[in-house]
Every structure is written in structure tokens, then in C-alpha cells.
Amino acid sequence: MTSSSVAMMTSFALLCLSIAIIECMAGILGNGIILAASSLSRTGSKTWPPYDMIVISLSSSRITLQCWIILDLFLTIFCEPSYFEENIFGFIKTGYMFLNCSSLWFGAWLSVFYCIKVASFTQSFFIWLKLRIARLVPWMLLTSWLCSFTTAIPFAWDVYSVHKNITAPSSMTNSSARTTTRNDSSGLLILLYNASVGMPLILSVASSVLLIRSLWIHARQMQNNASGFRDPSLEAHMKAIKSVCSLLIFYVTYYIAFTFLLFDLFLHFSTPKSICIAVMAACPTGHSIVLIWSNPKFRELPARIWQHINSSVRITSM
């Protein structure tokens, strides 16, 4: 670590960045389980169910994103002088923008898919979506990639001019200088940010609210019919709603932290910025844990691996 990094980074900020790296590693493991379980279940199959397509896209994008974040943090901490050169900084931030947007879009489509499959609305448009969701999912995912790519490319053109003051010595890098630079060149980034990140947020909130409403109506009907709450379909609905609600909570939290970082509101290596990075690293990891918990197929793979390890240990010890 360079002397300037040591001088600027507090012990608490360093702790937050270390926690972020650990959270990313845990997220890579969790999303790796989801990716492996979804891929193995489709081995030899010519068709992929829409849910598996969304989950595979989401988990693979998050694995890449979390690896990218770890690389970014290591370069920021240990290679600060060379990291803020135009080529390296632009490449890292552009790749991060693309992966971040695609991950958010895939998470939003997962919420939409839950809503369409689980909710029981009778409107003609909703029924049309329910009947055609399998054919729409590939186009939804392709659109997400294109939107993310469209967002990342202009960001690559502008990223250096937005952050060029960071290359100045730490004593000269103050908030007013960065604010002047940001005001001159962030108009396009604000528009792209609202389109690429705000739209998935709206989809997640809308689908979650609709799903909660549908589940509440279904529960009231069951209660009026004295059917109890042990119906397996209702239990499946409850797991789906918990997963969607957790995604929504993680999504909103991630959205807020990402907004602070994107508009460069905090000083480099400051405690608030390090906290935002740790929060952002925790959100995808937390949601992957919820997905594993709510899906028996995802829970089965770690159990089988653990059972295989125990069997191998017993055989070796005999």
C-alpha cells in the first residue's frame, strides 16, 4: 500500500473494505451454488425453463460483478498511483457499470417473473403475460444486456473527465473541485443512470406490490372458506413473496448506496464511501442466500456436497 493510501484511509474505512471483499467472496460462493444447481438440473435438456434462464443469468452476472468489485478494491488499495491512470480507471469503471446494470435488470426480471407466475389477477393483459412469459424471457434478458451495454459505452467516454481530479495530489483533491468537474460532465450519466437503474427499480417495486396484494387476497379467500393456511400452494406463495420482498429491500439499499458512489459524493478513501461499498457488496450476497433458502433445488446441492465430503472422510479414516 502506498504512503498516500495509508494517510488517507482510516482504520475503520480499511475494515469496511476488507468486509466488502469477504462479502463478495461469500456472494461468489452462494451464486456459484445457484448457478451450478440450475445448470446441472438442465443437463441434457434441449429447452430451458424461463425461471432457470433468469436465475442463471442473474447468478453468472453477480459472480462476475463480485469478482470485478474485488479486483477494483485490490487495485484501489494496493495500486493507487497506476490505478487512476485513464486507461485502467476507465476500463474498471466501465466494466463495473455494465455488470452492475445487467445484474439489476436480471434481479428485476426475477421479481416480474415471480409476480406473473404466482399472482392470480384476471385482467386480460396479465393473463396474456402468463401464457407467453416463457417466450418473452429470452427477449427480456437480451434487452437487459443491450440496455447495460448502451449505458456502459457512453460512461466509458465520460468517466475520465468526471474523475480526473482524483489524480491530483490528496491535498488538492477537495469536494469543491470534484463538484465543479461533476457539474460540467454528469448530465449524460444522470440520464443513463435513471434509465438503466431506475427502470429496474420501478419494475421490482411494482411487481412486489402486485404480488403482495395477490397473496393477501388469496389468503383472505382461504380464511373465509375455512381452508386454513397449510395449503402447499400458499406455502409456496409465502416463500416466493419472502424472496421478492428480500430482493426489494436489498435492491433499494443497493440503489441508494450506488447513487452515492456514482455521483462521487464522498472523498476518496473516506469512511462514508467505504460503508457504501460494504453495503453494496452485502446486498447481492444476502439475496443469493435468500434464493438458496427458498428453493429446495438450491439447498440440495450444498447438502449433497457436504454428504459426499463426509463419506470421503469416513472412507479415508477407515
Does 276 reside within a domain? yes
The residue that leads in pLDDT, 34 or 93, is 34
Q: What is the pLDDT of residue 235?
A: 67
Q: Is residue 18 part of a domain?
A: yes
The answer to whether position 4 is within a domain reads: no
Q: Is residue 24 in a domain?
A: yes
The reported pLDDT for the residue numbered 172 is: 38
Q: Band the pLDDT of 32: cuts 50, 70, 90.
A: very high
**Residue 178 pLDDT class (50, 70, 90 cuts):** very low
Residue range(s) defining the domain that contains residue 69: 10-165+183-305
CATH number at residue 250: 1.20.1070.10
> Can you tell me the mean pLDDT for 263-267?
71
Q: Is pLDDT at 36 greater than 50 in this prediction? A: yes
Indicate the pTM of the whole model: 0.81
Name the percent of the chain lying above pLDDT 90.
Answer: 14
Does 141 have pLDDT greater than 90? yes
Q: What is the mean pLDDT of residues 272-276?
A: 86
pLDDT of residue 250: 85
Indicate whether 1 belongs to any domain. no
Across 243-258, average pLDDT: 81
* Cell reading at 41: 438440473
Mean pLDDT of 147-170: 61
Query: Is residue 171 in a domain?
Result: no
In a domain, 310, yes or no: no
Residue 44: predicted pLDDT? 65
Q: Which of 195-204, 223-232, 256-265 has the lowest mean pLDDT?
A: 223-232
Higher-confidence residue: 39 or 24?
24
Domain tally for the chain? 1
